[in-house]
Structure 1
């Protein structure tokens, strides 16, 4: 193949399995390593023109606002096409470790953090070679933290904080401003920016501004942004008969091809204290789950008693939650949520 000059992200069709995570974001914006697939494309092909298309004009408007350097697909020939089928949640989970290695290889700044790292007596402990620990100078790691890099690197980004009695195993990325408190995090995990993480987490993708700050197990799962998992909420990621996990999304059943898969939780969903999520549970956008057990598929905007979350109340609550992190919904995002509500709740 010659030089890649034109890249087309073709999202005109969303395959089953990605719907809950792509209500207001592109699959290419889901961080599956240190970077998102979109950021990785820009790093790999810095001189290429990136084009984008989606079936919804409202979605395209929101996407272009976030990514002003990307333009609408013009129908002309391209050198590379990126489609969502290769980024289904179970495929992304399998690629986290490889992606972290690739992102680290392409980022000289991240590698510099390792050279500046000096572990003193009484500080945190590194198992393996310290050159595989990459900690931003502004991050704070408390005494009593154990970082194991025998299976892959650990990257802790700007202004992150990891408090005592936490165990971190690579390959692992911890995003900017994220706090990890008394947690056990095992490898092949990517955690986004400004998250709050505690308890046990393994082989998972957690997007920005999500809280799982208490005891409870999260494994082989993909969690959207602005999600809150209450204390002792737990995902099952292995069936009792070790069978291949299937998930449901709306009226479609999908086979993951893996015996290890937990849950998918869409943006702005809340999981109550002590909720048990069965293997392969899918919680769509804007749900509030408080029953003792959840399984199968929950459609968008389901409130605790099974009734729909009233849209104006959802938007009010979401703005209140986002304000605590100095963020706000854009007008186009609000309109996209209204369209989703009209389509999925009032259809």
Structure 2
């Protein structure tokens, strides 16, 4: 079955959806797209997304299609009901469309569709009475991380270990250690939520880990790290210092001391030694953060909100980020002062002024960084980066 994940509110999830569809955001241990494939029966995923992303994340139309909003976070029960849909049927919940099953002709007849409701003509609606989880704003990735991680436990199948050995101390019983993972002389507390250490991950000596927590494939937790859940350390990340309720998508580094709390870090980022983020205002008030739609700061509804950093951005040693700071993609921050709370994509943020990163230099850095992890920088990547460079926000 062809599953079309349809983006309708991609701007609500900037800066992370500058470089990926909404369904490729990491909502817990897995991306939304990965969850659909894990729960579904032979679902093949494709994307209806912003034109700048469509080459890298292709749209495919087949004779039989399921169309689903990207912001819908799947559960086993929901996916089962979606799989049961017949042609020209829609699954709905309290007036919201969860999924529609359509033939290619019906989709082709609405080429300019900007929302799933555009396909709703002559459709039989079936009410779904189970629990429904939506990704409504980007900060849901850390505020809802505990729920996501608790539900994700059922997706870890096959053989795994529950005793790390190597002079570790484990509290509670919700520990999963996948094949090839190594944990040395650390404490792991699962009484507050599950802890999953995926295959090939390494937890060095003296770490204190508190669930809910996911440590991704090939990730490294460096000596003496303190990690408070709910937290997600994505694949091939390297982390150290103190981390609380934060999300790393993958291939990013925070390898040294410094505090990161209530934050989201995209892919291919690097936080220099002793980079710190403030996640709470001195007056304990609501944190404002940059809104890309209004081009102004808006209330986040949160008392705790730290750093939102897009892909390939970096900070120098001793960088201090204020509460609710948003950094675009490919930004470089190297100032001893507090940088602005909104840093544009490709910004070259120095001590006294902000310049723009040269695009060819950005390619060179990305190529060098990605080669170290044996990941290619493709021509499609370059075309996307050129678009983002010319439309930097």
2:370 paired with 1:322: yes
What's the counterpart of residue 94 of structure 1? 143
What's the counterpart of residue 196 of structure 1? 238
Instruction: Name the CA shift for 1:280/1:136 in 2 (closer, same or farther; >3 Å).
Output: same
Aligned counterpart for 1:118 among listed residues 163, 176, 192:
163
2:79 paired with 1:81: no
Q: Specify the SS of the correspondent of 1:59.
A: coil
Map Cα deviations across residues 14-56 of structure 1 (whole Å, 9 max, x no partner): 234x221112212211222121111111222324565531231
Residues 246-325 of structure 1 mapped to structure 2, 5 A cutoff: 246-250=288-292, 251-292=295-336, 293-305=338-350, 306-325=354-373
Residues 168-179 of structure 1 mapped to structure 2, 5 A cutoff: 168-179=209-220
5+ residue gaps, structure 1 = 65-69
Equivalent-residue separation in structure 2 for 1:287 and 1:343 (angstroms): 14
2:7 paired with 1:11: yes
Equivalent-residue separation in structure 2 for 1:344 and 1:159 (angstroms): 37
2:54 paired with 1:60: yes
Map Cα deviations across residues 200-245 of structure 1 (whole Å, 9 max, x no partner): 0010100111000100000000000110001111111111111111
Ranked by relative contact order (alpha carbons within 8 Å, sequence separation 6 or more), the top structure is: 1
| Contact 1:52 1:72 survives alignment (8 Å) | no
User: How far off its partner does 1:176 sit?
Assistant: 0.9
Residues 327-346 of structure 1 mapped to structure 2, 5 A cutoff: 327-344=375-392
Q: Structure 1 stretch 22-31 or stretch 259-268: which is displaced more?
A: 22-31
User: How far off its partner does 1:154 sit?
Assistant: 0.6
| Contact 1:151 1:169 survives alignment (8 Å) | yes
TM-score with structure 2 length normalisation? Answer: 0.77
| Contact 1:52 1:73 survives alignment (8 Å) | no
User: How far off its partner does 1:288 sit?
Assistant: 0.5
Equivalent-residue separation in structure 2 for 1:321 and 1:15 (angstroms): 27
User: How far off its partner does 1:257 sit?
Assistant: 1.2
Q: Specify the SS of the correspondent of 1:300.
A: coil
- Answer with 1 or 2: which has the greater Rg: 2
Structure number having the greater strand percentage = 2
Residue correspondences, number: 325
5+ residue gaps, structure 2 = 73-133
Equivalent-residue separation in structure 2 for 1:127 and 1:171 (angstroms): 13
Equivalent-residue separation in structure 1 for 2:241 and 2:309 (angstroms): 18
What do you get for the CA RMSD once the two structures are aligned?
2.2
Q: Specify the SS of the correspondent of 1:248.
A: strand
| Contact 1:138 1:159 survives alignment (8 Å) | yes
What's the counterpart of residue 142 of structure 1? 184
Which of structure 1's runs of 4+ aligned residues deviate more than 6 A? Answer: none
What's the counterpart of residue 255 of structure 2? 213
TM-score with structure 1 length normalisation? Answer: 0.87
User: How far off its partner does 1:72 sit?
Assistant: 4.9
Q: Specify the SS of the correspondent of 1:307.
A: strand
Structure number having the greater helix percentage = 1
Instruction: Name the CA shift for 1:222/1:146 in 2 (closer, same or farther; >3 Å).
Output: same
Equivalent-residue separation in structure 1 for 2:375 and 2:42 (angstroms): 32
User: How far off its partner does 1:78 sit?
Assistant: 5.2
